[in-house]
């Protein structure tokens, strides 16, 4: 009995050995061992563009060098401990999205699959924040409306907090917490510009208010400046100190020209349009508004032989067609190079850039949150905006400084 059992075990063992031998013969070609693996040369970085610096999360950067892989996923680019997203790759160039980090002298290096070592390290100059909060706002009981800037880059912000209406000032030497400049003020200020001599000119922006007010330098008591025959919503100065001011209701809006002696002319009529914003730029008066049919748009009138001689109404851009139904266009401004910026309620990208050739794109996609109410360019490369609370976007009221990396067009009122 034991002999039979022992013979069976021996037979099974021999069968098992034979099966292993056959299996090994069949799988001999599937070995994971590579006798001569490809070793790539180590990557080298020679430069990074733009060289001076970049905005966090905005645009792209180019890493120049050699020995990169032409297969995008085989390269890894480190900015400090952050891995950048690679857009495209050649043997000598990697294009990456600017990472969402902020810092100076940031260590940049590249790893390539197959290379034994990292590249050399280059210290990139700086990546700075694209936006920064100013004024210390954020209380949901506050609502922010118009914003203006004086010749020294002090900011003025119209605030409603409950039943209290006030103007705040944010000093240019701190760009920190705002201080009360004037309280109370008689109106919810939806349009405001700095004028000659340091006076702030402001309007309520409703069909019930026809008065242009003026606040003296230092925040003294505001005074009615001009009473107009129709409601007014926004204003802007031309180079001669005249004020283009507009408003109305959805049945009709008037564009007025107020002269320095306080006399005025009606210079354009927009039927079935409620005007939201007015801006003078390069021989034209631009307005943003919404039609009776809920079409948000920007129009303009060319200034012909004199400030009160305007050409016909001309649509510049149909904002609704570009951004969708239900979008409001509340503000306008221009860069020195002619780009127009339209502040809207669009989600998620509330500022629309319209180039001189008519093409358009969102400003800093994914960085800015709605809804943008008013905008003013400072003397440097910064655009300042007020953002109202948006339930739809889950955002709180804020005043923001946006690094535009270029200068704005002149605001003539604060230069006179």
Which among 193, 230, 241 is positioned nearest to 213, based on CA atoms?
193
Matching residue, tokens 């409601």 = 231
**Is 264 within the bounds of a domain?**
yes
Q: Domain of 114: which CATH number? A: 2.60.40.10
Is residue 108 domain-shared with residue 238, that is, in the same domain?
Answer: no
**Strand (E) or helix (H) holding 256:** strand 252-258
**Is 3 within the bounds of a domain?**
no
**Total count of residues recorded for the chain:** 416
**Is 227 within the bounds of a domain?**
yes
Is residue 76 domain-shared with residue 166, that is, in the same domain?
Answer: no
Query: What digits encode the pLDDT tens for the residues 230-257?
Result: 899 999 999 999 999 998 777 889 999 9
The structural domain count of the chain equals 2
Is residue 266 domain-shared with residue 151, that is, in the same domain?
Answer: yes
| SS3 assignment, position 213 | strand
Question: DSSP letters of 269-315?
Answer: EEETEEEEEEEEETTEEEEEEEETTS-EEEEEEEB-SSTT-B---EE
Is residue 233 domain-shared with residue 253, that is, in the same domain?
Answer: yes
**Domain endpoint, select from 106, 128, 150:** 128
Is residue 266 domain-shared with residue 214, that is, in the same domain?
Answer: yes
**Is 72 within the bounds of a domain?**
yes
| CA distance linking residue 155 with residue 147, whole number of Å | 7
Torsion angle of C-alpha atoms 328, 330, 335, 340, degrees rounded to 10: 30
Q: Residue 376 has which token pair?
A: 């003013």
Q: Residue 219 has which token pair?
A: 């925040």
**Domain endpoint, select from 104, 128, 152:** 128
Query: What digits encode the pLDDT tens for the residues 76-94?
Result: 999 999 999 999 999 999 9
Is residue 338 domain-shared with residue 367, that is, in the same domain?
Answer: yes
Is residue 139 domain-shared with residue 122, that is, in the same domain?
Answer: no
Is residue 85 domain-shared with residue 221, that is, in the same domain?
Answer: no
Q: Which domain range does residue 53 map to?
A: 44-128
**Is 401 within the bounds of a domain?**
yes
- The beta strand positions in 131-263, using DSSP E, are 131-134, 142-149, 155-161, 164-170, 179-182, 191-194, 200-203, 211-215, 223-227, 234-237, 243-249, 252-258
**Is 249 within the bounds of a domain?**
yes
What Cα–Cα distance (Å) separates residue 332 from each residue in 106, 200, 253?
36, 19, 17
In order along its 416 residues, the chain shows pLDDT tens digits of: 444 334 443 443 444 444 444 444 444 334 333 444 578 999 999 999 999 999 999 999 999 999 999 999 999 999 999 999 999 999 999 999 999 999 999 999 999 999 999 999 999 999 999 999 999 998 878 899 999 999 999 999 999 998 899 999 999 887 778 999 999 998 899 999 999 999 999 998 666 789 999 999 999 888 999 999 989 999 999 999 999 999 877 788 999 999 999 999 999 999 999 999 999 999 999 999 999 999 999 999 999 999 999 999 999 999 999 999 999 999 999 999 999 999 999 999 999 999 999 999 999 999 998 889 999 999 999 999 999 887 666 778 999 999 999 999 999 999 87
Is residue 55 domain-shared with residue 151, that is, in the same domain?
Answer: no
Preceding omega of 182 cis (within 30 degrees of 0): no
Is residue 311 domain-shared with residue 203, that is, in the same domain?
Answer: yes
Q: Residue 331 has which token pair?
A: 């503000």
Is residue 166 domain-shared with residue 73, that is, in the same domain?
Answer: no
| CA distance linking residue 19 with residue 291, whole number of Å | 85
Query: In the beta sheet, which residues pair with residue 170?
Result: 155
| CA distance linking residue 414 with residue 97, whole number of Å | 38
Is residue 108 domain-shared with residue 195, that is, in the same domain?
Answer: no
**Domain endpoint, select from 128, 156, 174:** 128
């Amino acid at each position: 009995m034991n002999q039979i059992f022992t013979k069976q075990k021996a037979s099974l063992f021999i069968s098992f050995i034979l099966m292993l031998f056959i299996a090994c013969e069949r799988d001999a070609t599937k070995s994971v061992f590579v006798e001569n693996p490809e070793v790539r040369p180590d990557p080298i970085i020679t430069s990074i563009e733009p060289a001076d610096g970049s905005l966090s999360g905005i645009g792209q950067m180019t890493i120049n060098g050699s020995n990169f892989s032409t297969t995008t996923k085989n390269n890894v680019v480190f900015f400090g401990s952050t891995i950048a997203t690679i857009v495209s790759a050649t043997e000598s160039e990697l294009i990456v999205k600017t990472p969402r980090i902020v810092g100076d002298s940031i260590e940049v290096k590249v790893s390539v699959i197959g290379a034994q070592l990292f590249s050399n390290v280059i210290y990139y100059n700086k990546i700075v924040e694209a936006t920064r909060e100013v004024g210390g706002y954020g209380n949901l009981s506050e609502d922010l409306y118009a914003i203006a800037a004086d010749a020294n880059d002090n900011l003025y912000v119209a605030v409603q907090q409950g039943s209290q209406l006030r103007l705040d000032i944010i000093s240019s030497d701190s760009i920190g917490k705002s201080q009360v400049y004037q309280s109370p003020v008689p109106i919810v200020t939806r349009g405001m510009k700095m004028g000659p001599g340091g006076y702030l000119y402001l309007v309520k922006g409703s069909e019930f208010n026809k008065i242009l007010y003026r606040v003296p330098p230092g925040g003294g008591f505001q005074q009615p400046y001009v009473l107009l025959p129709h409601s007014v919503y926004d204003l802007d100065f031309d180079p001669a100190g005249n004020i283009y001011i507009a408003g109305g209701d959805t049945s009709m809006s008037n564009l007025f020209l107020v002269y320095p002696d306080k006399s005025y002319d009606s210079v354009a009529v927009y039927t079935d349009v409620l005007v939201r914003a007015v801006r003078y730029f390069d021989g034209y008066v631009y307005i943003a508004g919404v039609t009776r049919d809920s079409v948000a748009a920007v129009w303009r009138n060319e200034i012909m032989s004199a400030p009160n001689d305007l050409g016909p109404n001309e649509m510049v851009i149909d904002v609704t067609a570009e951004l969708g139904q239900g979008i409001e266009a509340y503000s306008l401004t221009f860069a020195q190079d002619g780009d127009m910026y339209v502040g809207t309620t669009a989600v998620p990208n509330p500022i629309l850039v319209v180039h001189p050739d008519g093409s358009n794109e969102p400003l800093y996609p994914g960085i800015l949150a709605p809804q943008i109410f008013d905008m003013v360019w400072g003397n440097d490369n910064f655009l300042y905006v007020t953002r109202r609370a948006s339930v739809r976007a889950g955002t709180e009221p804020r005043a923001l400084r946006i690094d535009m990396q270029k200068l704005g067009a002149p605001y003539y009122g604060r230069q006179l």
